[in-house]
Amino acid sequence: MENTKAPNYRWHAIDSLQDRASQSKLWGLGVFISMTIAFALSSILLVNAMRYTETNLLMIEKQPLLISILANGILVSLYLALLASISVSRELDKGTLETLLYGPVDELTYILGGFIAHVKVFSLTLLGALIWSNLCVWLLNLSFRLDILGLLLASLFMAAELIAFGLFSAIWGGKTRNALINFILIVLFLGGVQIADFIVSGLVQIQTSTISDPLIVIRNVLASLNSTIRWISPFSQVQRAMQALINQQTGEFILNMGLMLLECALLLVGAILLLKKKGVRGVA
């Protein structure tokens, strides 16, 4: 009964797993709702950027589309990473993962299957982002630069890193609730520090503060935290990649892309090893 032509059992299993997982995501409404929200937000950001250019009588806005595309990528990838975390922790919770492991599936196969599925879905949403940006270029008479493609690629790397983190937090948390709490808290921390640092440093700059001002202390703490987590935060990495694109710093762009790729690989290896160690029944 078995088809002996299957060339590589592991890749065949990965392909079967990723296909099932990506189909279930694409047949659901969630991805499309998150895409709609992301596009609406991106459009608002774009309109605001255009108004800012107009009100300040600026002749050129270097790349008004980039921020919108970045926001779109962050929102959709966060949603997909959350989905990845929920689906894996649910499989662990319910025991369906154990049933898979009875067959030609091991920990590496399972994690890679889940990872590829979610990255695949994100890639499809990037197609939507590309169509949307072309539409904006056409409607608003903007210039289409290759930077947009570079940022879409950077968004893909960021999404891969976030999805890998989602998978890692699912295995780490074990139960669905714990996995979600871990994921949300860490993402809030990474994003929150970056945003807070941006706001507080702006406030301090425009004030005539003394050295004892508590805002200075907060600024210093946030700045030092941010300087540390900027190397590990995917939001910071993708932002720096975007800045490198605008400033045409190829080296900086490659460095940040490499960092995202490296972190993604480390998180995937961590998830596989952790799953092997913990086992599907919680005992090794």
Partner 1 sequence: MQNGLRIETRGLTKRFGTFTAVNKLNLRIEPGESYGFLGPNGAGKTTTILMLLGIHKPTHGQVLINDQVVRSDAFALKRRIGVVAESQTFYDEMSAWEYLMFFARLFSVNEPEKRGQALLEQVDLWEWRDVLVGGYSAGMKKKLGFARALVHSPDLLILDEPVSGLDPFGIIQVREMLKAEQAKGRTLLISSHILSEVERTVNRVGIIANGRLIMQDDMENVRQKVSGFERIELTFASLDETAVQEIGKLPFVQRIDRDGNSISLLTKDDTDYREAVGRFVLEKRLILLEMKKAEKNLEEAFVTITENNLAHLAGKGKE
The footprint of partner 1 on residues 87-106 (CB under 8 A) is: 94-96, 98-106
- Give the Cα separation of 186 and 196 in Å (integer): 15
Contact 133, 69 (CB under 8 A): yes
Among the listed residues 236, 249, 246, 253, the one whose alpha carbon sits nearest the alpha carbon of residue 65:
246
The contact pattern for partner 1, residues 107-136, with x = CB under 8 A and - = no contact, is xxx---------------------------
> Is the CA virtual torsion 23, 88, 116, 42 positive or negative?
positive
Write out the two tokens for 138.
């056409």
- Which CB, 118 or 240, lies closer to partner 1? 118
- Which CB, 206 or 284, lies closer to partner 1? 284
Minimum CB separation of residue 26 from partner 1 in Å reads 14
Residue 1 binds to partner 1 (criterion: CB under 8 A): yes
- Which CB, 95 or 192, lies closer to partner 1? 95
Minimum CB separation of residue 9 from partner 1 in Å reads 4
CB atoms within 10 A of CB 213: 13
Minimum CB separation of residue 261 from partner 1 in Å reads 25
Q: How far is CA 157 from CA 32, 73, 247, 263, in A?
A: 21, 10, 20, 10
Minimum CB separation of residue 107 from partner 1 in Å reads 6
Residue 51 binds to partner 1 (criterion: CB under 8 A): no
Q: Which residue carries 């709490």 as its tokens?
A: 181
Minimum CB separation of residue 29 from partner 1 in Å reads 13
Q: Applying CB under 8 A, which of residues 51, 62, 177, 281 lies at the interface with partner 1? A: 281
Minimum CB separation of residue 138 from partner 1 in Å reads 40
The contact pattern for partner 1, residues 3-42, with x = CB under 8 A and - = no contact, is x-xx--xx-xx--xx-xx---x------------------
The footprint of partner 1 on residues 200-239 (CB under 8 A) is: none
In the chain the first and final C-alpha atoms are separated, in Å, by: 34
- Give the Cα separation of 109 and 104 in Å (integer): 9
Residue type, 13: A
Residue 86 binds to partner 1 (criterion: CB under 8 A): no
- Which CB, 19 or 61, lies closer to partner 1? 19
Report helix, strand or coil for 174. coil
Contact 174, 278 (CB under 8 A): yes
Minimum CB separation of residue 191 from partner 1 in Å reads 31
Q: How many residues does the chain have?
A: 284
Write out the two tokens for 33.
């709702």
Which residues contact partner 1 (rule: CB under 8 A)? 1-3, 5-6, 9-10, 12-13, 16-17, 19-20, 24, 94-96, 98-109, 276, 279-281, 283-284
